[in-house]
Amino acid sequence: MERRNFLKLSSLLGVLGITGNVVAVNKPIDYKKKQTDRDYWVMLLDKMATPVLVNMSKGELRKNMPVEVSKGWYKNSTKEVAYMEAFGRLIGGIAPWLELPDDDSKEAEIRKRLRLQTQQSLAHAVDPDSPDYLYWGTPTSRQPLVDAAYIAQALLYAPKSLWQDLDEKTKERIIHEFTKIRALKPNQSNWLLFAAMIETFLLKVDKPFDAFRIDDAIDKLKGWYTGDGWYTDGKNFGFDHYNAYVMHPMMTDVLKHNVEKGRRTKEEYEQAYKRMQRYSTYLERYISPEGTYVVVGRSSTYRMATFQPLMKVALEKKLPDMLTNGQVRSAITAVMKNMFIPTTFNKQGWLTLGLVGDKQIDIADTYSNTGSMYITSTVFLALGLPANDAFWTDAPEEWTQKKAWSGKPFTKDYAVNY
Q: How close are the terminal C-alpha atoms of the chain, in Å?
A: 40
Which residues are CB-neighbours of 262 under 8 A, at least 6 positions away? none
Is 90 exceeded by the pLDDT of residue 100? yes
Please, what is the average pLDDT of the chain?
A: 92
pLDDT band for 33, please (50, 70, 90 cuts).
Answer: low
Per-residue pLDDT tens over the stretch 300-311: 999 999 999 999
Give, in degrees to the nearest 5, the angle at Cα 26 between 23 and 29. 140
Is 50 exceeded by the pLDDT of residue 363? yes
pLDDT band for 89, please (50, 70, 90 cuts).
Answer: very high
Note whether 95 and 162 are within 8 A (CB). yes
Q: What pLDDT, on the 0 to 100 scale, is given for residue 72?
A: 86
**Amino acid code (one letter) for 157:** Y
Is 50 exceeded by the pLDDT of residue 5? no
What are the DSSP E strand ranges found in 155-254?
Answer: 225-227, 230-231
Cα dihedral 149, 112, 114, 119 sign: positive
Q: What pLDDT, on the 0 to 100 scale, is given for residue 146?
A: 97
Average pLDDT rounded to a whole number, residues 95-108: 96
pLDDT band for 413, please (50, 70, 90 cuts).
Answer: very high
CA 344 to chain centre: 18
For residue 225, list its beta bridge partners.
Answer: 231
Task: Map out the domains of the chain with their CATH numbers.
Answer: 37-404 (1.50.10)
Is 70 exceeded by the pLDDT of residue 114? yes
Per-residue pLDDT tens over the stretch 171-180: 999 999 999 9
Of 60-74, 108-122, 211-225, 240-254, where does mean pLDDT reach its minimum? Answer: 60-74
More confident residue, 36 or 29: 36
Q: What pLDDT, on the 0 to 100 scale, is given for residue 39?
A: 97
Q: What pLDDT, on the 0 to 100 scale, is given for residue 76?
A: 65
Is 50 exceeded by the pLDDT of residue 159? yes
Per-residue pLDDT tens over the stretch 211-222: 999 999 999 999
Dihedral angle computed from the Cα positions of residues 366, 367, 373 and 376, in that order, rounded to the nearest 10 degrees: -100
Note whether 250 and 233 are within 8 A (CB). no
Is 50 exceeded by the pLDDT of residue 209? yes
Q: What pLDDT, on the 0 to 100 scale, is given for residue 26?
A: 34
Which residues are CB-neighbours of 74 under 8 A, at least 6 positions away? 366, 367
Q: How far apart are CA 13 and CA 165, in angstroms?
A: 19
